[in-house]
A and B are shown apart, each in its own frame.
Chain A
Amino acid sequence: GAVVSQHPSWVICKSGTSVKIECRSLDFQATTMFWYRQFPKQSLMLMATSNEGSKATYEQGVEKDKFLINHASLTLSTLTVTSAHPEDSSFYICSARDVRGAGTGELFFGEGSRLTVL
Chain B
Amino acid sequence: EDQVTQSPEALRLQEGESSSLNCSYTVSGLRGLFWYRQDPGKGPEFLFTLYSAGEEKEKERLKATLTKKESFLHITAPKPEDSATYLCAVQWGYTGGFKTIFGAGTRLFVKA
At the interface, yes or no: A27 with Cβ under 8 Å from chain B?
no
Q: Report yes or no: B34 in contact with A107, Cβ–Cβ below 8 A.
A: yes
Q: Report yes or no: A105 in contact with B32, Cβ–Cβ below 8 A.
A: yes
Count of A residues near B, CB < 8 Å? 22
Q: Report yes or no: B49 in contact with A109, Cβ–Cβ below 8 A.
A: no
Q: Report yes or no: A108 in contact with B46, Cβ–Cβ below 8 A.
A: yes
At the interface, yes or no: B67 with Cβ under 8 Å from chain A?
no
CB of B73 to closest CB in A, whole Å: 15
Chain B interface, DSSP helix/strand/loop, else mixed: strand
Q: Which of B31, B32, B98, B104 contacts A42 (CB 8 A)?
A: B104
Q: What are 14 contact pairs spanning A and B, CB under 8 A? A: A6-B43, A42-B104, A43-B87, A43-B104, A43-B105, A46-B100, A95-B43, A95-B44, A104-B49, A105-B31, A105-B32, A106-B32, A107-B89, A114-B41
B-to-A contact residues, CB < 8 Å: 31-32, 34, 36, 41-46, 49, 87, 89, 91, 98, 100-105, 107
